[in-house]
Structure 1
Amino acid sequence: MFRTLSLSALAALAFTAGAATAQEHETAAIHDVDFSFEGPFGAFDENQLQRGLKVYTEVCSACHGLRYVPIRTLGDDGGPGLPEDQVRAFSGRFEVFDAALDDMRQATPNDHFPGSALSNAPDLSLMAKSRAAFHGPAGTGINQLLKGIGGPEYITAILTSYTGETREQAGVTYYENTAFSTGWIAMPPPLAGEDLEFDDGHSNELHHEAEDVAAFLMWAAEPKMMARKHAGLVAVIFLVLLSVLLYLTNKRIWKPVKYKTKSV
C-alpha cells in the first residue's frame, strides 16, 4: 500500500515538474511591452493602429483572415480612425462571396474582412483576446495580472522569436521559435524588419512592426475596449458616491438613537 502511494506521488511530482517546465518554456521568451492601451486609463494609439493595419494588409492577410471584423469599423472612434473615403477605398482591395449573386464581388465597408486564405492558417480576429490571460503557471493568468503580459505580448514574441533554424518532419518544414509552446512552428517568419515604409516615419525595425500589428490585432479582438473602460470608470465613480451617500444617510438616521442611548 505504502509503495503504491509512493509511486503515485512520484509520478504526480514528475508530471507536475514536466508541466511546469513546458509552461516555463512557453513563457520564457514572452516579455512585457508597454502598450498604450494597457491599464484602466489606457487608450489605443491611432497611429500605431494604422501602422498595424498596414502590416496586416501587406503581410498577414496573404494567409490569415479577420472574418469577425467589419471593414467599416476602421473609421470608428477609438480605432484606426480612417476617414470615410479611405474606408471605402480600402474595402475595394478585397473580394467577398455574395450568396445572392452566388459569386465573388468587390467588398464594401459593410462587409467583413475576408477569412483566412489557407485552411491551416488561423483567423486572427480573436487571437489577441484568446491569448490574453493564459500566461503564467498552469495558465492561471498571473503574468497578465502582475506584469501586464497578455495577448499582444504573445503575438509580439511569436513574431520576433524565430532563431533561423529549421527542420522537416512528415514533409512539413518547421521553424524554431523560442516563444512557441513546442519550440517549433509551421509558420515561416512573416516579418524580417524593414518590410514596409510607414507614412508617419515611424521605425520599421522588426520589433516595432511586430508591436504595431499586435496592437492592431488587440483592437480587432476588443474594438469597444475604450468604451468599456469609460463605462467601468463611470460605474466606479457612481458606486463611490453612492457609498458615501449611504454612509452619511445611515449616520443621520441613527444619530438620534445613538445619542438617546448614551444619555440613558
Structure 2
Amino acid sequence: MRTVALLGAGISGFLGFATIASADESEHGLEAPNYPWPHSGILSSYDHASIRRGHQVYQQVCASCHSMSLISFRDLVGVAYTEEETKTMAAEIEVVDGPNDEGEMFTRPGKLSDRFPQPYANEAAARFANGGAYPPDLSLITKARHNGQNYVFALLTGYHDPPAGVTVNFVLHYLA
C-alpha cells in the first residue's frame, strides 16, 4: 500500500511539474513551427551540400559577429569539405601559439586541429561593437534552444524590414 502511495505521489509531482513547465513556455507564445526536416527519419542523414552551404553562409554573414568556439576545422572534413579543402581553409588564418623555446608567443598558419577564429578579443569588445548586445556563440545553438533546429530556421527566416515608424538601433535588426 505504501508503494502505491509513493508511486501515486511521484506521478502527481511529475505531472504537476510538467504542467507548470509547459504553461510557462506557452505564455510567451513564441513557439517555432515544426518543419519536415529530411534528416529527421530513422535511416536519414544530413545533406552534405546543405551543410557546406550553411558553413559558407556562416563565414560570409554570421562570423563577423558570432563565434563558433567549440568547432574545429577538422569537424568539416568528410562532412562539408575534403581534407585538402579544409587544410587550405585553416591555413588562411593566423593562430597565436607558443611559447617557443625562448618563451615568446608566435603566429603560425592554422591547422585542422585549430578552432574557428573568434570575431572579438573578449565580451566587452563584442558588446561595444554591437550596441551593448552580446552575440551568442553558435557552436551548440540548436542544443541550447527549445525546438533547436526549428527555432534557428524560424529565426533566420524571420528578419524583415521594420514597419514604417519603427526605428531599430544601427547594429540590430528587425525580427517579425
Same topology, TM > 0.5: yes
- Percentage of identical aligned residues: 25
Quick check: which has more Rg, 1 or 2?
A: 1
The equivalent residue for 2:111 is: 108
CA distance in 1, matches of 2:92, 2:76: 14
CA drift at 1:42: 2.0
> C-alpha deviations, 1:188-231, integer Å up to 9, x for none?
xxxxxxxxxxxxxxxxxxxxxxxxxxxxxxxxxxxxxxxxxxxx
The structure with the greater share of residues assigned to strand is 1
Give the 5 Å matches for 1:40-189. Answer: 40-76=42-78, 79-80=79-80, 82-100=81-99, 101-117=104-120, 118-119=126-127, 120-131=134-145, 134=146, 150-165=147-162, 166-168=166-168, 174-178=172-176
Query: Could you say if the C-alpha distance between residues 45 and 157 of structure 1 is closer, same or farther in structure 2, counting changes exceeding 3 Å?
Result: same
CA drift at 1:96: 2.6
> Are the counterparts in 2 of residues 115 and 123 from structure 1 also a CA contact under 8 Å?
no
> Are the counterparts in 2 of residues 91 and 107 from structure 1 also a CA contact under 8 Å?
yes
Instruction: Work out which structure has the larger RCO, using CA pairs closer than 8 Å and 6 or more positions apart in sequence.
Output: 1
**What's the TM-score, normalizing by structure 2?**
0.66
CA drift at 1:72: 1.2
**What's the TM-score, normalizing by structure 1?**
0.46
Gaps of 5+ in 2: 1-21, 121-125, 128-133
CA drift at 1:54: 0.9
Secondary structure, counterpart of 2:174 in structure 1: strand
Secondary structure, counterpart of 1:68 in structure 2: coil
The structure with the greater share of residues assigned to helix is 1
CA drift at 1:66: 1.4
Matched letter for residue 87 of structure 2: R
CA distance in 1, matches of 2:106, 2:153: 37
CA drift at 1:173: 5.8
> C-alpha deviations, 1:48-82, integer Å up to 9, x for none?
11111111111111111211111012114xx22x2
Secondary structure, counterpart of 1:152 in structure 2: helix
